[in-house]
Amino acid sequence: MRLVQKFLALFFLLFLASALTAQSAPSQADQIAQLQQQVADAKGSADNAWMLVSSALVLLMTGPGLALFYGGLVRKKNVLATMMQSFAMMALITVLWAIVVYSLCFASGSGFIGGIGHAFLRGVSAQPDPDYASTIPQQTFMIYQLMFAIITPALISGAFAERMKFSAMVLFMGLWSLLVYAPMAHMVWGKGGILNASLGGRFPTLDFAGGTVVHITSGVSALVCATYLGRRIGYPKEPMMPHSVVLSFIGACLLWVGWFGFNAGSALSAGALATSAFVATHFAAATAAIGWAGAEWIRNGKPSALGAISGCVAGLVAITPASGFVGPIPALLIGLIAGVGCYLMVARVKAALGYDDSLDAFGVHGVGGTIGALLTGVFATKLINPIFKDAQGNALPLGMIDGNFHQIPNQVVGVAIAMVLATVGTYIILRVVDFAIGVRVSAEQEVQGLDLTQHGEEGYYWEVSLP
């Protein structure tokens, strides 16, 4: 009986509702507008979902990805200190980002640096910023970009691993984020930036996901750090083998996965461009692993696990600027060139020059980033991403294979600016930090290890342990 009553009530309500809508029938235009809004909302939600996942994937690259990759490569006494250098960025840069760094990167400003319009995240709300990403909340764009700002300085830490004071590292990284990262990100990606390709910069540099902004700046800064701090005690006479290639292996595999967020996420939407970047990223990682390990196989007679994972990272670095502009076959080629090129740099050239870039931050990120940025000028095509348009909205050629021979010089300008900014900025910051608190630990602390002397703990507490 109660059931029947319920049904009756339901029918009555439905009848009432349809009667009401019939009375106030909206005009066709209103209906269309409403539908359009619903479609836009649905696309916005889809894009936003992918961008939030991508943000998390990029954070995964720093911790645990990079922390494990670098942590495994150092000696046992420095494993925690090395992991902390990455993890500290996840906390430190986040705070600076909220205060002012996001604003310096992405608020309107000059051609070289953003203003303070978004300081303390003022005006960064659920509303999209159409200049950057018209379908997702600016807050999503902000948190996504933060993950890039976190990993970039963390990459540098590979160069001064096993010998830099933790306090000096924190101060250095904070200043670096303000003085090197913010201007470079603004120039390439910010409104009014002189290298910005999608918003009409003076020298439009194609950098889809950060070949110049992330990898060249960090890689070149790493080289400056390695030479400024000097070699580790005992380098290159004493053996300094990675204490656990197993940790590095897990880290590299996490980097590979996280890089999908880094590159495919840089489409800032969930459509076909994201897929294209995802595919290019994966293909380049594969051939780069083959390239590096293959080069080792030929030279040393054995392909090493460390070689294969180092190669994959080099390929991921190189495809970063190109990922949203090239097809899968050029991606295979870019990866292969980067894998072999970075191997030669790390195994041959570094030994010849004698600098101690402990974990090859320059050899992988500086060299791989440069290879990638230049090859983007060769292989970028309007078929993948019609980013350049004429006044009528027709797609213009991008790279050399499209017949645009002016793009390579523009890429060179972008690379050169990144290198000069990174070199000068890093050197000045190192001098200031050295003067203020000293950059390097004492010889005694270095021998004892940074875990114990900088953090008062040990990575592995075993009752019996061999050195």
Question: For binding to another protein (CB under 8 A), which residues are involved?
Answer: 236, 239, 241-242, 296, 299-300, 302, 304, 306-307, 310, 343, 346-348, 350-351, 360, 466
Nearest residue (CB) to another protein, 346 versus 418: 346
Which CB atom, from 166 or from 249, has the smaller least distance to another protein? 249
Output 314 or 433, the one with its CB closest to another protein.
314
Q: Which two tokens stand for residue 294?
A: 């293959």
As measured in angstroms, the least distance from the Cβ of 388 to another protein is: 39
Smallest distance, another protein to C-beta of residue 267, A: 33
- CA-CA-CA-CA dihedral for 236, 240, 241, 243, to nearest 10: -160
Strand partners, 389: 395
- Which residue has tokens 């003067």? 435
Q: Which two tokens stand for residue 60?
A: 């995964």
Q: Which is nearer to another protein, 163 or 382 (CB)?
A: 163
Q: What are phi and psi of 308, to 5 degrees?
A: -65, -45
Please tell me what DSSP assigns to residue 120: G
In whole angstroms, what is the distance from residue 192 CA to residue 173 CA? Answer: 26
Query: Least distance to another protein from the beta carbon of 84, Å?
Result: 23
Nearest to residue 47, comparing CAs of 108, 105, 132?
Answer: 132
The CB-of-464 to another protein minimum distance in angstroms stands at 8
Report in angstroms how near the CB of residue 433 gets to another protein at its nearest. Answer: 29
* Residue 114 or 307 with smaller CB distance to another protein: 307
Looking at beta carbons only, is 346 or 398 nearer to another protein? Answer: 346
Shortest Å, Cβ 43 to another protein: 45
Q: What is the nearest approach in angstroms of another protein to the Cβ of residue 301?
A: 9
What CA–CA distance (Å, rounded) separates 314 from 226?
Answer: 19
CB of 346 to another protein, least distance (A): 5
**Closest CB to another protein among 352 and 391?**
352
How many residues are present in the chain?
467
Pair 79, 243: CB distance under 8 Å: yes
Which residue, 292 or 388, is less far from another protein as judged by CB?
Answer: 292
CB 207 within 8 A of CB 375: no
**CA 161, CA 85: separation in Å to the nearest integer?**
9
| Min CB(348)–another protein separation in Å | 7
Asked if 315 and 256 touch (Cβ cutoff 8 Å), the reply is no
Nearer to another protein by Cβ, of 173 and 364: the residue is: 364
Q: Phi and psi at residue 205, in whole multiples of 5°?
A: -100, 125
Q: Which tokens hold the place of 30?
A: 């209103």
CA angle 425, 216, 165 (to 5 degrees): 55
Q: Is 234 exposed, middle or buried (0-12, 13-18, 19+ CB in 10 A)?
A: exposed
